[in-house]
Amino acid sequence: MIMGNTNSNCADARLFYHDFLDSETKGYIPQSSRKHINECRHCQDKIRQLEALLTHTDKADEYIQQSQATIALLRLHFNYINRPVTCNVAKLFLPSLAIQPLEISIPTPITVHLDKCQDCADDLSTVRNLGLTQEQLYRLGQLLGDKPPEDTINCSQARPFISSVASMLFDKTSSEILKHLCICPNCRNLLYQNRETVLTKLSLHEKPHKDGICEAFSEADIYNYCIPYGIDPANNRHANLHESFASHLRNCPTCLNKMQRLHTTIYTIAERPDSEIVTRFTLKGQTEEIVESKLDDLYSHWPIKVQMLDKPKPAPAISIEPTEIPRTLKQRISPLNLKQFIKPMAAAAIILIGILLLFNVPSVKAVDLSQIHEALEKIKNIHISRSLPDEVRPWQRK
């Protein structure tokens, strides 16, 4: 093996370091340079350094994108500080909480409701167990918060397409038709009944496949065909629909039965009424008087209070815009344990400040909680403002 780096071939080989790491371009490297790299320890060391740098940079960019999505999600959670949280509010957040890279490990107005409400906790577990993709979870979150519009497609316009949609012939419909059939309770029940009629006929004449292939299809595989909300048949965007698979689904009693179970699972969550559990998340030190509530000491080590309200109280309407989840989320981020450095002040502000500090440092440097704590100690002033929707001026400043 060549030990030194004085050989003039090193300068020539340096031009191909990046290509050497790519299996698709490695074969185009001149044979003399490729032979030199394989035999030169200096060039191999440089290539390892380049590989480590590229890997670290990709992971840093990915980590930053994950953190930005997590911060956006936390902001939506903390919009409900000092407001009653019912099941109908919490269910809007279930799909985002099922995305592992965005998993939240600190108490928020939404997560404390799930801590107290077994029905919502079970719904979250159900959504997680479906194994849906992030794109599917994003569209499910929109579905749970959507309502049939009064000024676009109505039932009389949508119902003639039920048979086509039940047969997964989406090219005969439009995105507006599919949306209506998914969010209108009456029309989606008719869609379910149509599939059930087809399933009954298939069960009488068709025999289930014995090769086990149907059992291998997951809920994620059939979700877009069963719940086509957000799909645009004109360009097949996001859906990745295949006619061969659709043909199998419409003629297979095993898979069609699996679609019916998935339909029931999704809409059982969507239609479940509020339970008697209503929670309210407040910050310690607030002067607002809490009435008809029971204090809970489960979160005594946090600068927050969690009340179990005896009666639901109306809350100001909050418009929640869906947060676009970055498509490059591939790896699970370690949940932040902020208990070590959160002090008895505004919890929401400290949580967001800590996360922002974490991701405002250069991406190639490692940051641990001790460094975050050191940075927080240097803060001399924190300005916190609270605003209501559609109001220009905040209603409280601290």
Asked, for residue 250, whether it belongs to a domain, the answer is: yes
Model confidence over 59-104: pLDDT tens digits? 555 556 666 777 888 889 999 999 999 999 999 999 999 987 777 8
Asked, for residue 385, whether it belongs to a domain, the answer is: no
What integer pLDDT is reported at residue 279 of this predicted model?
92
- For the CA atoms of 179, 180, 184, 187, the dihedral, rounded to the nearest 10 degrees, stands at -110
Asked, for residue 349, whether it belongs to a domain, the answer is: no
- Do 228 and 178 form a contact (C-beta atoms < 8 A)? yes
Which residues of the chain fall below pLDDT 50?
1-6, 238, 287, 289-293, 295, 318-367
Q: How far is CA 258 from CA 35, 154, 214, 243, in A?
A: 56, 29, 9, 18
- Do 101 and 72 form a contact (C-beta atoms < 8 A)? no
* Cα radius of gyration (the chain): 27
Q: How many domains does the chain have?
A: 1
Place of tokens 């008719």: 190
How much is the pTM?
0.61
What integer pLDDT is reported at residue 204 of this predicted model?
81
Asked, for residue 280, whether it belongs to a domain, the answer is: no
DSSP 45-82: HHHHHHHHHHHHHHHHHHHHHHHHHHHHHHHHHHTTTT
**DSSP 8-state symbol, 273:** P
Asked, for residue 350, whether it belongs to a domain, the answer is: no
* 3-state DSSP helix/strand/coil % of the chain, to nearest 5: 55, 5, 40
**DSSP 8-state symbol, 101:** G
Q: Which two tokens stand for residue 116?
A: 């107290």
- Do 88 and 274 form a contact (C-beta atoms < 8 A)? yes
What integer pLDDT is reported at residue 15 of this predicted model?
79
Q: Which two tokens stand for residue 187?
A: 């029309």
Asked, for residue 122, whether it belongs to a domain, the answer is: yes
- Determine the structural domain holding residue 219 and report its residue range: 84-271
- Do 117 and 278 form a contact (C-beta atoms < 8 A)? no
The span from the CA of 83 to the CA of 281, in Å, is: 7
295 three-class SS: strand
Asked, for residue 305, whether it belongs to a domain, the answer is: no
Asked, for residue 104, whether it belongs to a domain, the answer is: yes
The span from the CA of 328 to the CA of 256, in Å, is: 32
